[in-house]
Amino acid sequence: MLILASLIAFIDRQVVAIVVGPMKQDLGVGDTEIGWLYGVFALFYAVAAIPIATMADKKSRKHIIAIGIFLWSLLTIACGLTRSYWQIFFARIGVGVGEATLSPSTTSLIGDYFPRKDIPLALSIFATGPIIGTGIAFVIGGFVLDMVEHANPMVLPFFGALKPWQQTFIYVGLPGMFLAAFFLLLKEPARRPSMSPDTGTSDTAQLIAFYKDNARTITFHHLGFVSLVLTGYAFVFWSITFFVRVHDVPAAEASQVFGWIFIVFGPMGPLLIAYLAKKLTDRGYQDANMTAGMIGGILTIPTVLLIQLAPTATWAFIFYAPALLAVNSPFGIAAGALPVITPPHLRARVAAIYMLTGASGMMFGPPLAGAFNEYIFPGDDGIRYSMITMTCFFGILGIVFLWFSRKPYAESMKKAALWAED
């Protein structure tokens, strides 16, 4: 159920990337403004996660998620009923707030469902939901866009005739309205008691103390994975536009082919990296989670560069297979590396704080690449040079930070072993 919810969340999140062309034409905006439709989503997704996580550490997590699914689905449908750029801009804020319920609540739930040693792998399996959801978003979005482009216009009372890109938002937003009700049937696990030393202080004071005690670990973890997240979101968001501009592939066709590649190869990345981390952990490497994430970053750079240098669309699609495996590989271990060093009663809030920093990658990746497209590398072919620049700079940055995270993370793992539950 959690994977299904994340799958639907990413369908609703990524649909903007499929309809860039017709949205730009109808709304009269450029690449940068379109990129900010993802950026503003990410900002409110991260900011809202903090108070939501505080509730998730104390209240019913399944009810929080159910309300969130209903909200983000309703606001996705609202995106299809908008008439101006600013209307869809504010609707995307609501989508971000709704989706902010899922990750902190899921981290808390999985922390109570599984033994500590299995949490990184469990969260990496959960991370396949967003990845598959992204692929399905492109497949279904491309199919729906192609369908509505050749169908009679949808006419609604009060809203009038809706363009194909507007109808696409409505169709992908509807399933979540029904899924929200099913979450009320979930059985919520009993919360694990905190095994950390009882200092008699408030949860907030303990949270601050945790960050002070693990400052170097958290800093390098966040900076490293945020850099890789920024690279990944910029790359995925502009992929369909890359095929349209560089290889003259229609958006609907490119979206469907890209989506299927994403569905097949995207989930392999986090599972393989989590499996590698588990094997390294079993051999006694305390820095296994950081080392595995760094390896995923190393694989990302050459695989993305191959796509930009591909002579034809066919070769580009072929190279997307290893690239999507590599680009997605650090996502699960980034989240999974934190609960194993965090006391159970603080896990949702620690996850939310990582979301707040990690969302800067979502927030700035697509619009920054859009600005490169417009101002640094103008012209249809410029998008490939934007991707080369973004991937090399932020990819290398992420690898360096994760390299420096290994020693402090190993120390955090040793400290957590003194109080951690089995």
**Domain residue ranges of the chain, discontinuous segments joined by +:** 2-185+201-416
pLDDT at 141: 67
pLDDT at 144: 67
CA gap 277, 287 in Å, rounded: 9
**Cα Rg for the chain, rounded, in angstroms?**
21
pLDDT at 70: 94
Q: How far apart are the first and last CA of the chain?
A: 25
CA gap 398, 293 in Å, rounded: 10
CA gap 373, 391 in Å, rounded: 14
**Do residues 314 and 257 lie in contact, with contact meaning Cβ atoms separated by under 8 Å?**
no
pLDDT at 21: 75
Return the DSSP state at 154: E
Stated pTM of the model: 0.73
305-308, long-range: CB < 8 A, 24+ apart:
305/388, 305/391, 305/392, 307/242, 307/387, 308/384, 308/385, 308/387, 308/388
**Residue 422 in 3-state DSSP?**
coil
pLDDT at 326: 92
Q: Which residues of the chain have pLDDT under 50?
A: 196, 422
Phi-psi region of 193 (alpha: psi -120 to 50; beta: other; left: phi over 0): beta
pLDDT at 83: 84
**Do residues 274 and 121 lie in contact, with contact meaning Cβ atoms separated by under 8 Å?**
yes
| Contacting residues for 234 by C-beta, under 8 A, at least 6 apart | 365, 366, 368, 369, 387, 390
Give the model confidence (pLDDT) of 15-50 as tens digits: 787 777 778 888 888 877 887 887 788 888 888 888
pLDDT at 341: 86
What is 2-185+201-416's CATH number, 1.10.10.10, 3.30.420.40, 1.20.1250.20, 3.10.250.10?
A: 1.20.1250.20
Give the E-state strand segments of 84-219 in sequence order: 154-156, 160-162
128 to each of 102, 178, 269, 333, 354, how far by Cα in Å? 14, 22, 9, 11, 19
pLDDT at 301: 93
Q: Is the dihedral of CA 48, 176, 337, 297 positive or negative?
A: negative
pLDDT at 77: 92
